[in-house]
Amino acid sequence: MLRVGAHVSVAGGVHNAVENEVAVGGNCGQIFTHSPQVWQDPNIDDEEAAEFREGTAAHLDGPWVIHSSYLVNLCTPKDDLRAKSIASMQREVDAAAKLDIPYVNVHLGAHTGAGVEAGLANAASALSELDIPHDVTVLVESDAGSGTKLGGEFEHLATVLDDCDRDLDVCLDTAHAFAAGYDLSTAKGAKDTITEFDDVVGLEHLMCIHLNDSKHACGTHKDEHAHVGEGEIGVEGMTTLINDPRIEDVPLVLETPTEDGRGFEWNIERVRELRED
């Protein structure tokens, strides 16, 4: 079954995410539990959580993913930022358990001069400090790899998975991987990238794909999302990814823009059109 949805708003309460997802035609999706630009407690009350869980069971196939705060930096060498990042992640995994959400997604962050090896070690040890509830898994998201941000290379993801004491999995963002240098714009490039991911990380760890097209060329490390098939990855690459039998059951979550009169509804419909079964 094709599982495809979008990152939707929780404005007015997390339970509203369900109808927002249904409204754009999604059957799975992603949320922030609070504004991702500030340190904040998700603060979800019991009634709201129950309404979210019941709405999800009634109207969606799932899964949901919680995307953690953009302020989180697991690679940081700074003690205060590390402590805040771990505390924030702990609140997210606890919120996920309360909402019956299986995944919390996080970017590794930037090593800011500490070096790649030290940054990856910081990320693995920070995630090892989490008390992750049963039935919740942290997904490390592939990054565009600008500046000193880690997670652009599949090897970075594999290192953190190997070195962390917790069982982690991965979310692959196609716009980020493309910006990081994996050429997804041709059928061969897309297939080879999935093969490389399997070789380096293992497809058994791929639990979510952020299916975004890219406004910038391959290898530019610039992270700006485009409508599915309308960016530099384009229709050939997207069609190949959407139909590759090795990843056909992985949930697709869109973080495409709302512009040119097109939003999530258009993009989800596009994915369904490009799917060949």
Q: Which residues contact Zn ion by CB under 5 A?
A: 141, 223
Is residue 154 a contact partner of residue 171, using CB atoms and an 8 Å limit? no
Taking the least distance from each CB to Zn ion, the nearer of 183 and 223 is: 223
Minimum Å gap between C-beta 4 and Zn ion is 17
- Residue 21 assigned to a binding site: no
Minimum Å gap between C-beta 144 and Zn ion is 6
Minimum Å gap between C-beta 65 and Zn ion is 10
- Residue 107 assigned to a binding site: yes
Taking the least distance from each CB to Zn ion, the nearer of 51 and 255 is: 255
| Closest C-alpha among 243, 181, 167 to residue 211 | 243
Is residue 237 a contact partner of residue 198, using CB atoms and an 8 Å limit? no
Angle (CA) 211-213-216 rounded to 5° is: 145
CA–CA gap between residue 172 and residue 65 (Å, rounded): 13
CA–CA gap between residue 117 and residue 271 (Å, rounded): 38
Taking the least distance from each CB to Zn ion, the nearer of 141 and 153 is: 141
Residue 39, CB half-sphere, CA atoms under 13 Å: how many? 13
DSSP for residue 133: P
- Residue 255 assigned to a binding site: yes
Find the residue with minimal CB distance to Zn ion. 223
Taking the least distance from each CB to Zn ion, the nearer of 68 and 122 is: 68
Minimum Å gap between C-beta 221 and Zn ion is 11
CA–CA gap between residue 159 and residue 72 (Å, rounded): 19
- Residue 221 assigned to a binding site: no
- Residue 210 assigned to a binding site: yes
Q: Which residues are annotated as a binding site?
A: 67, 107, 141, 173, 176, 210, 223, 225, 255
Q: Which residues are annotated as a binding site for Zn(2+)?
A: 67, 107, 141, 173, 176, 210, 223, 225, 255
